[in-house]
């Protein structure tokens, strides 16, 4: 069976500004999707690039007092250099100044012109330089362009027009018959609502007397091509249109990714252009929302523009990739703030995933000399396997639907299940009993297998982390079981006897204090009521929690400590007899306590209180009795629980 093809594209970014968080997000999404499709077994092509024509670029170059071609070379290179540190693995970086692109734009223009869909006409209209297009009256707010807050200029010009209106009904039909054509649904509805009014034709030329920097019309040398008509065609150029098998092969699987700002050119201009040129329409348009920073629109004038290099430096590439995909519900706006990134790093990555990995590998090290043990076939743990299967099916559906946050949620449910599996099975207790060795081996094998599946599924989102995990697990990334979900998604493919290795912490915790000191010169408004970082800071790892030995203790006698109003001397069974001195005399009468089953910290270092050696601590909750009296309530358990039972 031949492979499904997927051709995923990002917008080609304008070179009038430097790369920022928004560009980084779109490109990370496309890269993750491309890697996910490869994992699914597709034949994938991924394209990004830069949009280099138009008057905005001429203005930006003039500000720097350089020629447009020098300017675009410089900024385009900045975009190109931005991607390797973010692990963006594209197949082509296209520039609209590339020779092959210029030729394809001319070819399409000529085809559409000869087909009768381009005509020459005089036009008067309100032109906004920021938008690089004529605006219609109803788009203005208080007479100004709502995006650029300037009054558009009245211009009368002779120009070439694309007969877009001719394709209005055909486009409406197509969108109605193909629910997946524009998604999420809110953007599909927005496009249909726009199309409920008559569509105007599109002015697709600029006289060279006004703008010289662009692709000349093949049928009139006095004009250059309107930048959007030029830019959209990049999606065809990059896969070899019009000739060659590569074009037909990949175009059949074309999916575009954009943000909501450029919905209209992609959902209306582009499909009608394709119809006029006789090219089949793309398959899907995926539209995401906008990132704000600390709830505020990102803008140069506010000084809150976040650069991709800063993101990598501050948080590390995989933490940024994970955060952006986990935090934004695709299609909706989201707010970026450093507190939230650190919280996700410390809780989801360092605590949940990082600890699962390091504990599992260190137990395999301790009990099996770092070699993956052979599971006892009679000892299968179906529920863990079932949880892994549920994770994989949810992951495939959600990642394929651009619901990355749900895909990752499914993965983290499994991380939680694997962490609970350790607690439930206590490998450290199994290791104490020689007869439990087969069981211990099964548990450790299952942990190794869970980690392999996690590395496989996390590869598209966090390529470096997945590699580190594979290296720790001793699995060659080129091995068959790590190539596609089909080859590696089944449970039980890890090979017993594989030598593993200790690798550094997957995710060091990020110290919020250090971060804020480092970032003093770039102060950030903290999000109101956001305690997530504080919460993450005070969290302890499972390792740390495991070290606290909480047990049920039965009080068999209680008496006041001489010369103390606060202290009681308790004798408890937990299950062995021990003495604990506790400050509960103000809240409890000794005679009421005998027979109570309380919770104690059993491994607290013994300490002398009023000359009595106290071996542990009784847990209590503080409360107010009336306005002033502080009282303590003992944490107790049901009578049927045996003394000495471990609390987990």
Residue 398 annotated in active site: no
DSSP string, 470-482: HHHHT--TTSGGG
26 contacts ligand ME8 (rule: CB under 6 A) = yes
294 contacts ligand ME8 (rule: CB under 6 A) = no
Q: How many residues bind ligand ME8 (CB under 6 A)?
A: 19
Taking the complex as a whole, the smallest distance from the CB of residue 498 to ligand ME8 amounts, in Å, to 42
DSSP string, 122-165: EEEEEEETTTTEEEPGGG-BTTB-TTT-SPPEEEEEEEEEE-GG
Calpha distance 378→438 (Å, rounded): 9
Calpha distance 207→223 (Å, rounded): 4
Closest CB to ligand ME8 among residues 238, 460? 238
311 contacts ligand ME8 (rule: CB under 6 A) = no
DSSP string, 285-352: EEEE--EEETTEE--TTTT-PPPHHHHHHHH-HHHHHHHHHHHSPTTS-EEE-HHHHHHHIIIIIIII
Residue nearest to ligand ME8 (CB): 22
Taking the complex as a whole, the smallest distance from the CB of residue 375 to ligand ME8 amounts, in Å, to 46
Nearest 5°: phi and psi at 58? -60, -45
Environment class of 433 (CB within 10 Å of its CB; exposed 0-12, middle 13-18, buried 19+) = exposed
Taking the complex as a whole, the smallest distance from the CB of residue 70 to ligand ME8 amounts, in Å, to 19
Partner residues linked to 133 by β-bridges? 128
Any residues with CB less than 8 A from the CB of 3 and at least 6 apart, and which?
41, 42, 43
Partner residues linked to 577 by β-bridges? 573
93 contacts ligand ME8 (rule: CB under 6 A) = no
Residue 480 annotated in active site: no
Catalytic residue among 3, 153, 176, 300: 300
Taking the complex as a whole, the smallest distance from the CB of residue 617 to ligand ME8 amounts, in Å, to 51
23 contacts ligand ME8 (rule: CB under 6 A) = yes
340 contacts ligand ME8 (rule: CB under 6 A) = no
Residue 286 annotated in active site: no
> Minimal CA–CA distance to 21: which of 285, 259, 301, 267?
259
Among 134, 291, 330, 404, binds ligand ME8 (CB under 6 A): 291
641 contacts ligand ME8 (rule: CB under 6 A) = no
Binding region for ligand ME8 (CB under 6 A) out of 31-39, 148-156, 226-234, 478-486: 226-234
Catalytic residue among 38, 56, 101, 128: 128
262 contacts ligand ME8 (rule: CB under 6 A) = yes
Residue 101 annotated in active site: no
Calpha distance 450→444 (Å, rounded): 10
Residue 203 annotated in active site: no
Taking the complex as a whole, the smallest distance from the CB of residue 259 to ligand ME8 amounts, in Å, to 3
DSSP string, 501-556: -----SSPPP-HHHHHHHTTTS--PPPTT--HHHHHHH---HHHHHTS-EEEEEEE
Is residue 635 helix, strand or coil? coil
Nearest 5°: phi and psi at 477? -60, -25
320 contacts ligand ME8 (rule: CB under 6 A) = no
Closest CB to ligand ME8 among residues 145, 632? 145
Residue 131 annotated in active site: yes
> Minimal CA–CA distance to 427: which of 435, 437, 418?
437
Residue 153 annotated in active site: no
β-strand pairing of 216-217 with 220-225: antiparallel
Closest CB to ligand ME8 among residues 17, 556? 17
Binding region for ligand ME8 (CB under 6 A) out of 228-236, 383-391, 480-488, 501-509: 228-236
13 contacts ligand ME8 (rule: CB under 6 A) = yes
Closest CB to ligand ME8 among residues 262, 573? 262
Helix (H) or strand (E) holding 600: strand 597-601
Closest CB to ligand ME8 among residues 172, 298? 298
Calpha distance 363→375 (Å, rounded): 15
Taking the complex as a whole, the smallest distance from the CB of residue 406 to ligand ME8 amounts, in Å, to 19
Calpha distance 118→139 (Å, rounded): 25
269 contacts ligand ME8 (rule: CB under 6 A) = no
Taking the complex as a whole, the smallest distance from the CB of residue 255 to ligand ME8 amounts, in Å, to 14
Closest CB to ligand ME8 among residues 259, 619? 259
Residue 383 annotated in active site: no
Residues 36-65 that bind ligand ME8 (CB under 6 A): 51
Among 7, 14, 79, 250, binds ligand ME8 (CB under 6 A): 14
Is residue 283 helix, strand or coil? coil
Taking the complex as a whole, the smallest distance from the CB of residue 263 to ligand ME8 amounts, in Å, to 9
Is residue 214 helix, strand or coil? coil
Just list the catalytic residues.
Answer: 20, 23, 128, 131, 145, 148, 297, 300
Using CB under 6 A, list all residues that contact ligand ME8: 11-14, 22-23, 25-26, 51, 231-232, 234, 258-259, 261-262, 290-291, 298
């Amino acid at each position: 069976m031949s492979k499904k093809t997927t051709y995923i594209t990002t917008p080609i970014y304008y070179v009038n500004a430097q790369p920022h968080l928004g560009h980084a997000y779109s490109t990370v999404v496309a890269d993750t999707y491309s890697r996910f499709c490869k994992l699914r077994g597709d034949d994938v092509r991924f394209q990004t690039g830069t949009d280099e024509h138009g008057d905005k670029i001429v203005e930006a170059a003039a500000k720097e007092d350089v020629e447009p071609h020098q300017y675009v070379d410089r900024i385009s290179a900045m975009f190109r250099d931005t991607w390797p540190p973010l692990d963006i693995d594209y197949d082509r970086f296209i520039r609209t100044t590339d020779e092959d692109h210029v030729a394809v734009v001319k070819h399409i223009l000529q085809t559409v012109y000869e087909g009768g869909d381009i005509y020459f006409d005089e036009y008067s209209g309100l032109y906004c330089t920021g938008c690089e297009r004529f605006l219609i009256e109803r788009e203005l707010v208080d007479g100004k362009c709502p995006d650029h807050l300037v009054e558009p200029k009245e211009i009368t010009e002779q120009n070439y027009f694309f007969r877009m209106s001719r394709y209005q009904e055909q486009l409406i039909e197509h969108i109605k018959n193909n629910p997946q054509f524009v998604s999420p649904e809110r953007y599909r509805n927005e496009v249909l609502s726009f199309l409920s009014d008559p569509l105007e034709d599109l002015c697709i030329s600029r006289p060279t007397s006004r703008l010289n920097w662009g692709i000349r019309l093949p049928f009139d040398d006095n004009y250059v091509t309107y930048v959007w008509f030029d830019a959209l065609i990049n999606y065809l150029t990059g896969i070899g249109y019009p000739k060659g098998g590569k074009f037909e092969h990949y175009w059949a699987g074309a999916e575009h990714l954009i943000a909501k700002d450029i919905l209209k050119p992609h959902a209306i201009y582009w499909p009608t252009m394709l119809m006029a040129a006789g090219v089949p329409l793309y398959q899907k348009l995926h539209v995401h929302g906008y990132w704000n920073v600390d709830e505020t629109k990102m803008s140069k004038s506010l000084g809150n523009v976040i650069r991709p290099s800063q993101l990598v430096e501050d948080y590390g590439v995989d933490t940024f990739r994970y955060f952006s995909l986990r935090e934004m519900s695709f299609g909706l706006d989201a707010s970026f703030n450093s507190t939230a990134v650190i919280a996700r790093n410390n809780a989801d990555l360092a605590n949940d995933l990082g600890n699962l990995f390091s504990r599992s590998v260190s137990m395999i090290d301790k009990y099996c000399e770092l070699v993956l043990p052979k599971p006892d076939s009679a000892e299968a743990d179906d529920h863990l396997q079932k949880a892994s299967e549920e994770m994989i099916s949810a992951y495939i559906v959600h990642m394929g639907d651009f619901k990355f946050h749900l895909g990752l949620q499914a993965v983290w449910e499994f991380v939680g299940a694997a962490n609970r599996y350790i607690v439930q099975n206590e490998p450290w207790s199994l290791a104490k009993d020689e007869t439990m060795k087969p069981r211990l081996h099964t548990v450790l094998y299952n942990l190794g297998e869970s980690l392999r599946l996690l590395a496989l599924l996390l590869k598209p989102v966090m390529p470096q982390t997945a590699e580190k995990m594979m290296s720790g697990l001793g699995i060659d990334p080129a091995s068959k079981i790590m190539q596609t979900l089909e080859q590696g998604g089944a449970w039980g493919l890890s090979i017993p006897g594989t030598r593993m290795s200790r690798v550094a912490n997957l995710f060091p915790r990020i110290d919020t204090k250090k971060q804020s000191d480092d970032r003093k010169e770039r102060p950030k408004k903290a999000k109101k009521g956001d305690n997530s970082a504080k919460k993450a800071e005070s969290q302890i790892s499972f390792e740390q929690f495991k070290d606290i030995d909480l047990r049920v203790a039965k009080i068999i006698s209680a008496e006041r400590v001489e010369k103390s109003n606060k202290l009681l001397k308790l004798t408890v069974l937990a299950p062995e007899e021990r003495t604990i001195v506790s400050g509960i005399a103000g809240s409890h009468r000794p005679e009421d306590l005998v027979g109570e089953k309380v919770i104690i910290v059993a491994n607290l270092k013994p300490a002398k209180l009023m000359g009595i050696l106290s071996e542990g601590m009784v847990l209590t909750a503080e409360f107010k009795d009336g306005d002033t009296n502080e009282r303590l309530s003992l944490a107790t358990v049901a009578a049927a629980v045996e003394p000495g039972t471990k609390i987990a």
